[in-house]
Amino acid sequence: MIIDHDVIILGTGLAGLRAAVEIACKSGDMVNMGIVSKVQLMRAHSVCAEGGTAAMLREEEGDNLDLHAWDTVKGSDFLADQDVVYRFVETSPQEILLLDHWGLPWSRTDDGRILQRPFGGHSYPRATMAADKTGFFEMQTLYDTLTQYKNFTRYDEVFATSIIAEKGRFCGVTMIDASTGEFNVLRGKVLLIATGGLGTLYGFTTYSQTVTGDGQAMAYRAGLALEDSEFLQFHPTGLVPSGILMTEACRGEGGYLRNKNGDRFMEKYAAAKMEVAPRDIVSRAEMTEIIEGRGFEGPKGLDYIHLDLTHLGADKINHRLPLIREVTMKFLGLDPIYEPIPVRPVAHYSMGGIEADINGKTKMEGVWAAGEVACTSLHGANRLGANSTAECLVWGGFAGAEIVKYLGTNPGIPDMPADRVEEEEKRIFQDMLMRDGNENPYQLRRELREVMDFHMGVFRTGDEMSAGLEKVRKLKERFNNVNIQDKHRIYNSNLINTLELENMLLLAETMIVAALAREESRGGHSRRDFSKRDDVNWLKHTLITPTDNGPKLDYKDVTITKWKPVERKY
C-alpha cells in the first residue's frame, strides 16, 4: 500500500511532537502529516526524561544568555559550534513559556514563579522542572496541544525500514505495520527524522529497549553523514543492576556521591562544582574510584559507588524527587530517605547523530532531523544536563517552521521508484525472514552489548577499541546467517528485533571507527593512550559516510565565534 502525506514525521518523542505542533500551528489544517511511531505514541523514550529543561529565565537574579552559552561551550570541551549554541540559548526560554501557556504544570516557587534547580556544568540553577517527571509532562502537553488540530494521521506500532531517495531528493519511507504485517510505503514532500538515540548498543544503559538507533542507521544507508559518532555520554548515576536513570536532579537537589570509605570523592576531581560537575568528569571520577578499589562490589562486575540523599529529608525527596523514591523502592526495595542508592556510570546519550545545519536541515533535499538523532553541533564532545530536552523543543520548533516554509515553494511529491520498494520488501520478507540460518539474533544482541560495554566504555584505548571493532565485524558476518524462528507477519517481534539488531551492528561499527581515529581525549571520548585534548589536530567534527569498502571518515571545522578553547577546569 502507498499512502501520501505532505510531511512524514518519524518518531513521536519531544522533537517529533514539537515539530508536529509547529507545523499545525503555522499552517492551520492545510498541511497533511503522517506521524510514525514504533511504539504507542505516548510511549516514546522522551517520557523518561526526569530532571529538567535548561533555559535562562532569571536575568534579574544573575543568569544571562552569555552565561548559558559559555557553560554549554565549555561543557562541550569546546567542540560545540558557537553560533548554534547561541541560537539555542536564545530560543529555549521561549519554549518554556510556550509550554507554560499550553498548560504544562511546572513546579513553582512559593511566590508562583517557575521553579529551576542546579544541574551539572551549569553556573546557575536553570534546569526548569516538573518535579522529576519533566519529560512526561512535556510530552503530555505537546500531544494535548496537537489534538486540537485534525491534520495528522497516527501510525502507531509501525517499524520504518528504509528511507528512499532519488538523485538527492527524498521520496518516501518503507515500513512494516506490526498489527497487520503489511509492508507499506509513505510518500511525502518532506521527512523529519526524530527517532532518538542508540543507547541500547550497550548492555548497561538508561534507554528503553526500543531505542536502537533506527533513524541514524536508515539515514546512513541513504547516504547521509553521521557526525561525531564517537561521543557517547555516560551518565554518572545509573541504578545498579538495572541501569535505570537516577536523575542528575538528585545531585542538583544536594545529593552526595560517596565511595566505600564514606568520602565525598568529587572534591579530588572538581572541587568547585563537586557533584554537579559535567557528566564526563563525574563519570570518570566514579570509574577511577571503582578501578582503584574504593567502590562497592556489585553483581556481574557492576561495581558501584553510593548516591546519598538521606540528608535531604523526607519532605524534599517526596516533593522534588518522588519518581526516584518510587523506582528505588520498587526495583531494589530500598528507600532513599533512609539508605544510599547504588549507582555507576551508564550509557545515556548520543552527542553525535545525523549531520544537520543550524535549522535541522540535512544535505538531502526534503529531509530534516531534530532531537537526539540529529547532530547540529550543539553538544560537541559532552552534553550538559537538561540541554537535551531543551534541544528537542528548540529544534522541533525550528524544523517545523522551516518545513512549512519549504512547503510554501510547492515542491510536490516525487515519484517512488517501485524497484527500490520491491527490493526492500524482498530483502526483509524473503531473504531475511525465510533464511534458514543457525545464529540466534538475541544471542548476537547480547554479545554486541558485551562488546560495547567492555571496549567502548568511560575509558578507552586503541588496542581495546581495535579488538572491539574486530568483534563487531565478526558479529556482522554472523548476522548474515541469522535465523528468525517466527515466520508469520502479524506482530512479529522476532523480525523487528532482528531488524533493530542490523541497525545496531551498523552503528556500533561507525562509532568505533570514528573513536579509533580520534587520537585524543575530549569530553565523553576518554583515551588512556592519548590522555590529553589535542586542539592542534582534533578541534574538528568527525563525519562518517558509507562506501562499498565500509565507513569513510571526513572532518569539518568547529565554528568558533566568541570563545577560544582553554583548559577545562571546574
Model pLDDT for residues 100-124, shown as the tens digit of each residue: 999 999 999 999 999 999 998 999 9
Tell me if residue 306 is catalytic: no
262: CB partners within 8 A, 6+ apart: none
> DSSP character for 29?
T
Q: Where in the chain is the domain with CATH 3.90.700.10?
A: 237-345
Residue 32 has pLDDT above 90, yes or no: yes
pLDDT, residue 29, reads 82
Is there a contact between 383 and 349 (Cβ–Cβ < 8 Å)?
yes
More confident residue, 47 or 528: 528
Average pLDDT over residues 37-64: 91
- Looking at domain 2-75+84-194+357-374+384-407, its CATH class is alpha beta
Specify the pLDDT at position 514.
98
For the chain, give every residue range classified as CATH 3.50.50.60. 2-75+84-194+357-374+384-407
Q: What is the pLDDT of residue 51?
A: 87
Residues composing the chain = 570
pLDDT of residue 49: 86
Residue 50, pLDDT score: 85
pLDDT at residue 47 above 90?
no
Arithmetic mean of pLDDT over the chain:
96
Which range (82-91, 416-425, 499-508) has the least confidence? 416-425
Examine the residue annotation and report whether 235 is marked as an active-site residue of this protein: yes
Helix then strand then coil, % of the chain, to nearest 5: 40, 20, 40
C-alpha torsion 219→223→227→229, nearest 10: 70
In the set 45, 235, 348, 455, the catalytic residue is 235
The region of weakest confidence among 81-95, 348-362, 405-419, 504-518 is 405-419
> b or e along 323-337 (b: 16 or more beta carbons within 10 Å of the residue's beta carbon)?
bbbebbeeebebebb
pLDDT at 60 over 90: no
Identify whether the C-beta of residue 178 lies closer than 8 Å to the C-beta of residue 158. Answer: yes
Res 226: pLDDT: 98
Evaluate if residue 48 carries a pLDDT over 90. no
pLDDT of residue 188: 96
Q: DSSP secondary-structure letter at 78? A: T
Q: Is-cis flag, bond preceding 241, omega within 30?
A: yes
Q: Is the distance from CB of 253 to CB of 129 less than 8 angstroms? A: no
Indicate the SS3 state at residue 365.
strand
% residues pLDDT > 90 (the chain):
94
363-414 pLDDT, tens per residue?
Answer: 999 999 999 999 999 999 999 999 999 999 999 999 999 999 999 999 999 9
The reported pTM is 0.96
- Give the mean model confidence (pLDDT) for residues 345-353: 97
- Enumerate residues 6+ apart whose C-beta is below 8 A from 91: 394, 397, 398
| CATH code for the part of the protein at 237-345 | 3.90.700.10
* Residues 6 or more apart in contact with residue 189 via CB below 8 angstroms: 6, 7, 366, 406, 407, 411, 412, 413
pLDDT band for 172, please (50, 70, 90 cuts).
very high
Where are the CATH 1.20.58.100 domain residues in the chain?
419-540
Whose CA is closest to 400, among 192, 257, 114?
Answer: 192
Each residue's pLDDT tens digit, 486-532: 999 999 999 999 999 999 999 999 999 999 999 999 999 999 999 99
pLDDT above 90 (res 276): yes
* pLDDT tens for each residue of 460-478: 999 999 999 999 999 999 9
Architecture of domain 419-540: Up-down Bundle (1.20)
Q: Which of 25, 372, 388, 95 is nearest to 104 (CA)?
A: 95
CB-side neighbour CA atoms (13 Å) of 467: 10
- Given the residues 251, 258, 455, 525, select the one marked as catalytic: 251
Write down the pLDDT at residue 248: 92
